[in-house]
Amino acid sequence: MAQLNPDRPLGMDEGFRWGDPQIEVTGVMVAFFPTVEAIEACAAAGANLLIVHELLQMPYPWRGEGNLELHLTWPVNFNRISRLAKHDITLFRAHGTLDTFCIHREFVKLLGLGEPVVQEGLVTIHERERLPLGELVADVKRRTGLPAVRVAGDLDREVGRVGLPWGGIGLSVNAGFINSIIRHEPDVLIAGESDEYAMRMVRDCDVPMIETGHAVSEEPGMAWFAGYLAEQFPALPVQFHRCEPAWTVV
């Protein structure tokens, strides 16, 4: 089993984000996102530590806008934080550490891609049997349980060399990462979350892309991590909470 490196420092986007870091932990809930629903589920389970992968507050601090004090009255922030305070839950964010520890790996396993033929950090390229893009789409839907996915590209085109812009790497704000994958000449990209800018980027690079979803690509790793914590701390109740889909396909 993989082991966390205790000497690896946490990233600037990680650590305690709400509550008392000195609490005596009575139960842990692991969730992809700190939604109101996840916070209420944590309280209902009797857990007082919520470990999440994504950011607590909005707006996302890309341009120095992440100061919580300036945006506490935003409904999204007030609704989340008032629940954390009401239930006396401490929140810890584990982002890049879990990306490298288990999240990327578990998405690869979910897709059945095997060992990479190219690996540069978290840029990986995988070879699988060649088949029409439409058949690969059907396989991705079967493996993820998704009723529908978004696809950029010709469904009749044969593909076999796969690049993975998982999580939010398929978004246009991460165009540099997308480009670093395309430099390795994949036939197709299987993404987590994407947007129209990125979809048009890959189309102009003549590389098809399948979008699954941010949570879809990262929750398998979070579920694995919950199991890992339970093994490391057998006397401590640890649960995984799967976030409900953010939208419905109609």
Sheet of 90-93, strand order:
15-18, 90-93, 49-52, 28-31, 238-241
Q: Judge if 148 and 128 occupy the same domain.
A: yes
Q: Note the pLDDT tens digit of each residue in 103-151.
A: 999 999 999 999 999 999 889 999 999 999 999 999 999 999 999 999 9
Instruction: Determine the structural domain holding residue 114 and report its residue range.
Output: 98-212
With respect to residue 185, please indicate whether it lies within any of the assigned structural domains.
yes
The predicted model gives 41-53 an average pLDDT of: 98
Total number of domains constituting the chain: 2
pTM: 0.94
Write the CA distances from 199 to 127, 162, 172, 177, integer angstroms.
Answer: 22, 16, 8, 14
Least confident of 56-70, 131-145, 204-218: 56-70
Any domain includes 208: yes
Q: Are residues 76 and 90 in the same domain?
A: yes
Q: What is the pLDDT of residue 120?
A: 93
Establish if 161 belongs to a structural domain. Answer: yes
Q: How confident is the model at residue 1 (pLDDT cuts 50, 70, 90)?
A: very low
CA atoms of 41 and 35, how far apart (whole Å):
10
Per-residue pLDDT, 65? 55
* Cβ atoms of residues 76 and 37 within 8 Å: no
- CATH code of the domain in which 84 resides: 3.40.1390.30
Give the model's pLDDT for residue 61.
Answer: 76
Q: Are residues 193 and 226 in the same domain?
A: no
Give me 183's structure tokens: 């430099």
Residues 226, 238: contact at Cβ < 8 Å?
Answer: yes
Average of per-residue pLDDT values in the chain: 94
